[in-house]
Structure 1
Amino acid sequence: MSGAFATADVAGLVRELGARADPARLRCDVEFLAEGPRSRTRAPEAMRRAEAYAARELAAAGWRTERQPFDVRCRLGSTDRRGHQALPLEFRLHRRLAGANLLARLPGAPCRGTVVVGAHLDTVEASPGADDNASGVAALLEAARLLAGLPQPPPVTLAVLDMEELGLIGARYAARRLRRGRRAVGMICLESVGFFTDEPGSQLMPLGFEAAFPDVAAEVRAGGLRGDFTLVVHRRATDAAARLWCLAAGAGRTPLACVTLRDPRPLGPLGALAGVVVPPLAHLDRSDHAAFWNVGIPALMLTSTANFRNSHYHQPTDTPDTLDYPRLAAVAAATAATAVFWPRSVRAR
C-alpha cells in the first residue's frame, strides 16, 4: 500500500482477522511455551523445545521458515538473572554466545520492502515467562495464521528472536542482516503484550517519566492509572504506523485501548547513545526493536509495560493463568493488519 492508509480498509481487515483470532489457541501456545524457563545458556533443552514448537506452528500455517544460527564473541550485553526490577544498566561482556533466530515468509511474498514482526523466545532464569515473552511469541504465531489466510501473501517477515534477555543479541544479528539491501522497511516488536488489569492505580511509571513525557503521563493518569492499554512506543519515522496500529486496535471485536509514546531520539547510533545518558529514555530501549532503531530501521514496540504493571515480571509466578487472552487475540489481529497496511511512505531517518 502506498501513501496514507484507508480507515475503512483497515477496519474491514481487522474485523475479518479478529473474527478468526482464537483466544483459546493463543492460550495453548502460551501454556506450551511457558512450561518453564527457556534459555540457550540456562535451560537449553527447554529452549530447543520451544524453538521447535514455533517452527512447527509456522510451518503448519504455511510459512517457509529459515533457521539462522549465529555465533558471536566479545559482545556487550546484559544479565539474564532473575529479578523483579528491569536491569537495563547491568552490563555484561559475553565472551561467546551461540544461538539462532527463526525467520519466516509466506511463499510468493516479496523479500524486499518487508515488514518484520518480531518477538523474543528466551526468558530470564527461574521464570516461565508467560508474559515475558510467551505472550509475544503466541501473538506472532496467531498473526502468522491470520496472514496466511489472506488472498495475496503480504510482504511480511516473522522473526522469533533469541537472547533478548542477554542484550538483544539475536535481534542485533537479525537487524544487521535485514538492513543489507534495504530489505526491511519497518519492524513491529511484540514485548510482554498479554497482561492487562482494570484495577485503578495498577499502572506505574518510571522515575523521571512524568517530566520527560508529561502528555503521556497525563493521559495515563486521566485513565485512573489502570493497566488496561497497550503502550505503542515509536519515533518520528513511525508516527503513521503507530496511528495505524491504534486504529486497528480500536476496530476489532475486542477493542483495545492504546497509548502512544513518541521517543524524541533519531534513528541510528546517536539515538542509542542518548538512551545511555538519559535514564527515562533507556526504558524505551528494553526490547528487540531497539536493535532495529540502532541500524536505522523504523520500528514500533508494543507492550503492556512489563514491571510497571505486572508484579510477576521476571518471577516464577509469570504463568499462563495471569494473562488476558481475548485482549491478546486483539493484539495479534491489530498487529497483522498493521503489517499489511504499513505505510510504504515510511523511510529511515
Structure 2
Amino acid sequence: MRLLLPLLLLTSQALAQPADTVRLRRHILALTSTPEPRNYLHEVSLNQAADYIKAELAAAGARPTEQPYEVEGRTYRNILGHFGPETGPRIIIGAHYDVYGEQPGADDNGSGVAALLELARLLGQQQGLPCRIDLVAYTLEEPPFFRTPHMGSYVHAEALRKAGVPVRGMVALETLGYFDDRKRTQSYPLGPLKWVYGTRGNYVTVAQKFGNGHFGRQFARCYKQAAILPVKRFKAPAWLPGIDFSDHLNYWHFGYPAVLLTDTAFYRNHHYHKPTDTLNRLDLYRLGLAVEALLATVLRL
C-alpha cells in the first residue's frame, strides 16, 4: 500500500482537473473539417491541421516549435510543444495528425491528436513537472511513407539521436476513441489471444516489444493502476503484426524505449482507413478517461 499511495495521490490530482470532452470533440472536429482530407497530397489541409495544433499547444502554455523537412519537393512539419525544465532527460509523447487516403480519420488519428492536446492543457496546469515533457504531432505517418525515413517520427527520433538528447522513453498515442462493449468485437493478430484478453473491445492497451527496458514496464504498470477504464498490457516480439504499427517504431530504431497506447485500431474498429471513420462513432467519455490516466502516469514517471 505504501508503494501505491504516491500514485493514488497523483491520480486524485489528475482527476481533480478532469479531461474535457467538449474540448476533445472540438479538436477532432477541427481536424476532420479541413477542406480536403489531411493526407500528404493536400498540403493546405495538412498545414491547416498543423497550425491548429500549434495554436492549441501555445494556448495550453507549451513552448511551441516546428520541425520542417522536405519530401519530394514539398515541405511537411512536425509540431512540438515543450513543458517542464529545459535541460535533463525528457519524455516524448506523440501522435500523428495525417490520414491515409480520402477519409476524415476521426479515430485514426484525430483521437490521438485530441488526446495529445487535452494532455497539453492539463500539463499546463501542473506545477513543478519532474522532467521535460515534449509533445509532438507528427506528419507523414501513413502510407506511402510508413516505415520510411520520411515519417515525421523518424525525422524527430533521428534528430534527438544526432543531438545526443537523453530520452527516458516515448509514448505513441494511436487511435484511442473507439470502444464496443459487445462480445466478439475485438480481434487479434493471433486467434488464441482472445482467451487471454477477451473478445469485448472495451479497453485500451499498452503495447510494447520484448526487451523494451525499464520505461516500458514502469509506464504500463503505472497506467494500469491509474486508469478507471480497463487496460490490457501487451508485450510481444517486434515481428508480431500490429505491435509496431505506429510512430513508436522509429524510436525503437534509434535505441529509445517506446510504447504504444491504443484502442487496437483495425483489430476492433472496422471503420479504420475508411470514409466512415467519423466523429459520431467515438466514445469521448472513455477517450477522456484515457487522457486522465496518461496525465497521472506522466506525473508519476
Tell me the residue number matched to 2:26: 28
1:174 aligned residue: 156
Structure 2 portions without partners, runs of 5+: none
2:138 matches 1:161: yes
Contact 1:105/1:156 (<8 A) preserved: yes
1:187 aligns with 2:185: no
TM-score when scaled to structure 1?
A: 0.78
CA 1:317–1:172 in 2, change beyond 3 Å: closer, same or farther? same
1:148: Cα distance to partner? 1.1
SS at match of 1:284: coil
Partners of 1:192 and 1:54 in 2: CA distance: 17
1:18 aligns with 2:15: yes
- Structure 1 pair 264–239 and aligned structure 2 pair: CA distance change class (3 A): farther
**TM-superposed deviation, 1:220:** 2.0
* Whole-angstrom distance in 2 between the partners of 1:12 and 1:26: 25
For residue 251 of structure 2, the aligned residue among 292, 296, 300 is: 292
In 1, the alpha carbon distance for the partners of 2:20 and 2:160 equals 31
> Residue 226 of structure 1 is aligned with which of 200, 209, 214?
200
CA RMSD of aligned residues (A): 1.9
Paired residue for 1:51? 50
Counterparts of 2:14 and 2:156, CA distance in 1 = 28
Answering whether residue 220 of structure 2 is matched by residue 242 of structure 1, we say yes
Q: How many positions carry a matched residue from both structures? A: 287
| Distance in structure 2 (CA, Å) of the matches to 1:96 and 1:292 | 26
Question: Is the Cα–Cα contact under 8 Å of residues 39 and 99 in structure 2 kept in the other structure?
Answer: no
Aligned: 1:301 with 2:260: yes
**AA matched with 1:262:** K
Q: How does 1:40-119 map to 2 (within 5 A)?
A: 41-72=40-71, 98-106=75-83, 109-119=85-95
1:316 corresponds to 2:299: no
Q: Which amino acid aligns with 1:263?
A: A
User: What's the % identity of the aligned pairs?
Assistant: 35
For residue 124 of structure 2, what is the aligned residue in structure 1? 148
Asked if residue 258 in structure 1 is aligned to residue 211 in structure 2, the reply is: no
1:129 match: 105
Check whether the contact 2:39–2:101 (CA below 8 A) recurs between aligned residues.
no
Show CA shifts across 1:97-129 (max 9, x none): 6311111112x5234310001000000111100
Equivalent pair of 1:14/1:334 in contact (CA under 8 Å):
yes
Q: Distance in 2 between matches of 1:70 and 1:7?
A: 44
* Paired position in structure 2 for 1:336: 295
Q: 1:282 to 1:205 in 2, by over 3 A?
A: closer
**Partner deviation per Cα, 1:79-102 (whole Å, 9 max, x = no partner):** xxxxxxxxxxxxxxxx56631111
> Contact 1:155–1:340 at 8 Å: present in 2 too?
no
Partner secondary structure for residue 285 of structure 1? coil
Quick one: which amino acid aligns to residue 335 of structure 1? Answer: L
CA distance in structure 1 between the partners assigned to 2:37 and 2:76 by the alignment: 12
Shift of 1:40: 5.3
